[in-house]
Chain A
């Protein structure tokens, strides 16, 4: 009846702990609407709203990719789908 605890020899990492480990390093954020952000993660909250520094925004539009450089942003967590540690775009 009781939940089985994970074996002690396996180190488990909660998803948000992984994000927490990324604080201070570059992170790649994939958003819902063909948009991606790369920046240095400064912090995040319970909604996974994120504070990013030195940001590059990549928008995939019908006329090609649009790139915007931004200083510091508070990114709404609403449209975030995936977080990838490490800054480079995998292409």
Chain B
């Protein structure tokens, strides 16, 4: 039970897709998901760093340590 499969399916599905990652400190990273593991460590391509909703920085490649990750979101909708 508990639909763990739904989570693994989501993880497989978002590989190579644009995602938004929010950290516990409120900073947002948008980029193409290159890699994700069980710790929620994340590698992003074409990363944009948003602080308070404003673009602050761009990185070609970025690694995010999983303990900082609040959520990983697909990027269809925005406000």
User: Interface extent on A, as a size class?
Assistant: 20 to 34
User: Does more than half of chain B's interface fall in helix, strand or loop, or is it mixed?
Assistant: mixed
User: Interface extent on B, as a size class?
Assistant: 20 to 34
Q: Is B57 interfacial (CB 8 A cutoff)?
A: no
Chain B 17-31 per-residue mask, 1 if CB under 8 angstroms from chain A, else 0: 000100010100000
Q: Count A/B pairs, Cβ under 8 Å.
A: 71
User: Does more than half of chain A's interface fall in helix, strand or loop, or is it mixed?
Assistant: strand
Inter-chain contacts of B72 with A (CB < 8 A): 73-74
Inter-chain contacts of A76 with B (CB < 8 A): 40, 69-71
Which B residues are closer than 8 A to A by beta carbons?
1-7, 10-11, 20, 24, 26, 40, 67, 69-79
